[in-house]
Amino acid sequence: MISKLVRRNIAATKGRLFLMLLSIVLGVSFVSGSFLLADSLRAIFSDITATAFSGIDAQVRGIEGDLSTGEEAIRISEDIFDTVAALPEVEYAEAGLAAFFQVYTVGADGEVNRPQGPPVFANSWAGPSVASSFALRDGQAPSGNQVAIDATQAETEGLAVGDQVQVSGPGIDELLDMEVSGIVSFGDSDALAGAYFNLFDLPTMQTLMGSPGEIDGVIVNGQDDVSNTELLRAVQAALGDDATLEVVSGTTLIDEQSGEFNEFIDIFGNVLLGFALVVLFVSIFIIYNTFAILISQRIRQFGLLRSIGATGQQLTRMVLIEALIIGIIASIIGLFGGIGIATLLKYLFSQGGGEFPDGPLLFKTRTIIIVFFLGIGVTVGSALLPSFVAQRIPALAALRDGAAATTEGSRHRRVLFGGIVFTLGVALTLFGLFGSLSTAPRLALLGFGAALLFVGVAMLSVLFASAATRFLGAPVEMARGLNGRLARDNASRNPQRTAATASALMIGLALITGVLVLTQSLRASFDKILDETVAADLFIYDDNQGFPFDGAAVAQLAVAPGIDQVAAITSLKVDIDGQVENATGFDVASTDQVLDAQLIGGTYDTGENGVLIYSGKADELNLAIGASINVRFEDDFTDDFTIVGVFDDNTLFGSAWIFDRATTSQHTNLDTVEFVGATFEAGAEPALAQMAAEDAVANFPQLIVQDNSEFKETQEGQINSLLIVVFALLGLCIVVAFIGIVNTMALSILERTREIGLLRAIGTSRRQLRSMVRWEAIIVGVFGALLGVVLGIIIGYAAVSAIPDSFISVVSIPWRWAVIFTIVGGVLGMFAAVLPARRAARMNVLDAISTV
């Protein structure tokens, strides 16, 4: 019967529950959508991988060392192909050479052909075979100066068989003219997650890569009557004991590739899930408020139940069962709502330039369990506190008119509890920011700490919600007279309710403001570095994703007319005294004339075996100038190096060790660089010198040559597009908070029916009543926004302080945005009040007064 009563209560008040349900559904849908999207991506990519390697039984390839940076495989001699192909167990073998972000086709307009986001691959291809997953859709396999391209590229770039294109590659000095020989599909489908493919015959590919006689590996398809194990054993035997080679099975290839994709998808999915949890977190405040208000509205009913013998626990159970039912309903709707969210996210990302592969959305059991766990958990958990209030409703409440649950004692407890939660939140957040932790526990700690912090602030804000809203309402009262007075009083008369409503808005705005503080500080720090420590006039890099490009570009730039100094940066891995470390190769001969690492001791002149160390690292390892370290490079070259200088700024260099690039290029598999800075010759015309530089790297169409202000703009643009994504995701928090304000206002107005009737009876006009409700919501909205902005600035400030100065050295507070957000809070309040205000104004006066 209790559950029947609960169900009847839900049915009777479903209008009042709707907005709360909506807020939970939004959060739950986001959670569900995150899982759906990530699972669907996983399935699509594992499908792709399986297709790509379906015809391959085994592969011979070079061994990757612990210092490989992994952009390219270690190349091996093409002679190995003959050895493998000659084996009787082998039905088909093909030598292959591939490139990732190195070889592009260039359109007639001179623009490089590449999609935004998805990668560009280049492969050697001997035409359709048992081992190949490419099929010819049109034309024929490439031979000599020919390229076969994928159907997606052909369609997007408007290319057809017989068309002329230019092709770039790190091994060639100028673009090669080629003919499109064929259009290929991947398995049955045109598209492979939006990626582009450029296929050449092996000798052409070797020329393009500047690796004559070298291949990445040999793919092998065994005879039908030879088992995979036998095949692997035979190939291994034929290779002898060459330790630089390894043989792996097709399954291993699939596993490796899926693993790489999954790693990326996991990050993507977890970021989405993080945002989803924030949205769900915001709905906690709305659930709490709704139940608190519902209970105060049902106080007579609860008093009645108490008087006829319901125990306090039974009332608590009733509230919790109600929450449980709502949680279940919200979870069911949210689970499927995830489809909508996933579709929306796909759309948003494709608008932002990241193409999403098409595929069905997958409901995994795990998703269903988590969605229900979170949906029900959040709803029931948020209803806990109100349910305990229900327990304390006395039987006499049934007899009293307008009785309220006694909250005075509980208020003290709450403030005390809030203080504890707040302190714990601050402690965890600070420890998360400044403690020495690895990334995962740091993030977990920060997330949990921030959640506690928000809850703590929300609970403590009860203390000053009345005073703050009275203060904020003062100008309203002055401007609007009695109406303003009532609006102000209404906003401040139930501090708990106001605090919870405002807190929901606070969270979203605090996070947005915090992110703004971070990014604005990042931008300010970046500008400072550009202005103060970078002398370069030109910046040359791949603006797509900062992919490395061939070191030949540096030499070409150096001889361009009007260009004085050129300095490039490359990153690599080295083994220093037994520890694998990130290191930088830098043209140290340019000293600080192009890019400056802020030398605070010693010299840039590394000589034969010198190295520079970052000041922080020097302190950590207790190393000083003159100290000797043992270094092993990717090619196993090992030698002792001496520290010749200490630098203080690793923002541009990104590592704690700087070697001469002349040294690093000798000992890495590929001579690539990531970033080049150049200065103009004295007296050179900047525009002409920039054009000369552009000409000098014309064979690298993926590169852009930017001057100082263009460079700044690009970096700013990247920060901005990141901000847009973050804001879009956090925007849902604001939507939920908005629903929260509507919800509180609507419920409060129902509660005040009698009072409103009275106001109308004594002559308050509908218009005045609407204005009163509107101003109340505006006051609450501004209060929430102020809380959020202040908290966001504090959080952002703490985060910036925690980030090493080498990364962010300037704290910049977005004051303008702070003001805008506060106004936005008021505007949100105003819109939130529209429907509740209309409802209040439409109440029938007599009915309203006679309502008990």
The residues that touch other proteins, with contacts defined as CB under 8 A, are 1-2, 4-5, 8-9, 11-12, 300-301, 304-312, 314, 394-396, 398-399, 852
Tell me the backbone φ, ψ of residue 186, rounded to 5 degrees: -105, 110
Minimum CB separation from other proteins for residue 14, in Å?
Answer: 12
Closer to other proteins at the Cβ: 4 or 640?
4
- Structure letter (DSSP) for residue 75: P
Minimum CB separation from other proteins for residue 461, in Å?
Answer: 32
Sign of the torsion formed by the C-alpha atoms of 540, 544, 550 and 556: negative
Minimum CB separation from other proteins for residue 497, in Å?
Answer: 24
Minimum CB separation from other proteins for residue 279, in Å?
Answer: 32
Minimum CB separation from other proteins for residue 311, in Å?
Answer: 5
> How crowded is residue 109: how many other Cβ atoms within 10 Å of its Cβ?
6
Minimum CB separation from other proteins for residue 850, in Å?
Answer: 13
Closer to other proteins at the Cβ: 310 or 773?
310
Contact, 145 vs 734, CB < 8 A?
no
Minimum CB separation from other proteins for residue 306, in Å?
Answer: 7
For 600-634, b/e burial (b = at least 16 CB within 10 A) is ebbebebeeebbbbbbebbeebebeeeeebebbbb
- 285, 298, 394, 490 from 494: Cα distances, Å: 15, 17, 20, 7
Minimum CB separation from other proteins for residue 402, in Å?
Answer: 13
Closer to other proteins at the Cβ: 17 or 557?
17
Quote the tokens at residue 451. Answer: 């959640």
Closer to other proteins at the Cβ: 312 or 352?
312
Closer to other proteins at the Cβ: 7 or 767?
7
Minimum CB separation from other proteins for residue 32, in Å?
Answer: 32
Query: For residues 58 and 39, what is the distance between their CA atoms, to the nearest angstrom?
Result: 28
Q: Name the E strands within 447-591.
A: 538-542, 549-550, 563-576, 579-586
DSSP-assigned beta bridge partners for residue 122: 99, 198
Contact, 238 vs 143, CB < 8 A?
no
Query: For residues 449 and 456, what is the distance between their CA atoms, to the nearest angstrom?
Result: 10
Closer to other proteins at the Cβ: 672 or 753?
753
Q: Side-chain half-sphere of 700: how many Cα atoms within 13 Å?
A: 31
Minimum CB separation from other proteins for residue 477, in Å?
Answer: 32
Quote the tokens at residue 597. Answer: 């690492």
Minimum CB separation from other proteins for residue 307, in Å?
Answer: 6
Minimum CB separation from other proteins for residue 396, in Å?
Answer: 5
- 67, 572, 668, 669, 715 from 637: Cα distances, Å: 12, 14, 10, 12, 37
Tell me the backbone φ, ψ of residue 77, rounded to 5 degrees: -75, 145
Closer to other proteins at the Cβ: 305 or 611?
305
Closer to other proteins at the Cβ: 400 or 816?
400
- 3, 177, 231, 487, 846 from 768: Cα distances, Å: 42, 77, 87, 10, 18
**DSSP states of 722-783:** HHHHHHHHHHHHHHHHHHHHHHHHHHHHHHTHHHHHHHHHTT--HHHHHHHHHHHHHHHHHH
Give the strand pairing for 703-707 and 538-542: antiparallel
- Using only the alpha carbons of the chain, give its radius of gyration: 33
Closer to other proteins at the Cβ: 381 or 394?
394
Closer to other proteins at the Cβ: 184 or 318?
318
Minimum CB separation from other proteins for residue 1, in Å?
Answer: 4
Minimum CB separation from other proteins for residue 388, in Å?
Answer: 14
Residue of 225, 780, 678, 176 lying closest to 466 (CA atoms): 780
- Any idea which residue has 């405002």 for tokens? 502
Minimum CB separation from other proteins for residue 445, in Å?
Answer: 41
Minimum CB separation from other proteins for residue 304, in Å?
Answer: 5
Quote the tokens at residue 837. Answer: 């205000």
- Any idea which residue has 């400044």 for tokens? 434
Minimum CB separation from other proteins for residue 309, in Å?
Answer: 2
Closer to other proteins at the Cβ: 68 or 307?
307
Closer to other proteins at the Cβ: 10 or 813?
10
Single-letter amino acid code for the residue at 787: L
Closer to other proteins at the Cβ: 306 or 497?
306
Closer to other proteins at the Cβ: 13 or 236?
13
Closer to other proteins at the Cβ: 395 or 790?
395
Closer to other proteins at the Cβ: 305 or 800?
305
- 457, 737, 747, 785 from 817: Cα distances, Å: 22, 19, 32, 11
Query: For residues 484 and 771, what is the distance between their CA atoms, to the nearest angstrom?
Result: 8
Tell me the backbone φ, ψ of residue 678, rounded to 5 degrees: -140, 150
**DSSP states of 406-460:** --HHHHHHHHHHHHHHHHHHHHHHHHHHHS---HHHHHHHHHHHHHHHHHHHHHH
Residue of 382, 386, 380 lying closest to 323 (CA atoms): 380
Closer to other proteins at the Cβ: 227 or 313?
313
Q: What angle do CA 839, 737, 473 make, to 5 degrees?
A: 65
Query: For residues 291 and 744, what is the distance between their CA atoms, to the nearest angstrom?
Result: 11
Minimum CB separation from other proteins for residue 759, in Å?
Answer: 25
- Structure letter (DSSP) for residue 70: S
Residue of 532, 530, 468 lying closest to 502 (CA atoms): 468
Closer to other proteins at the Cβ: 801 or 851?
851
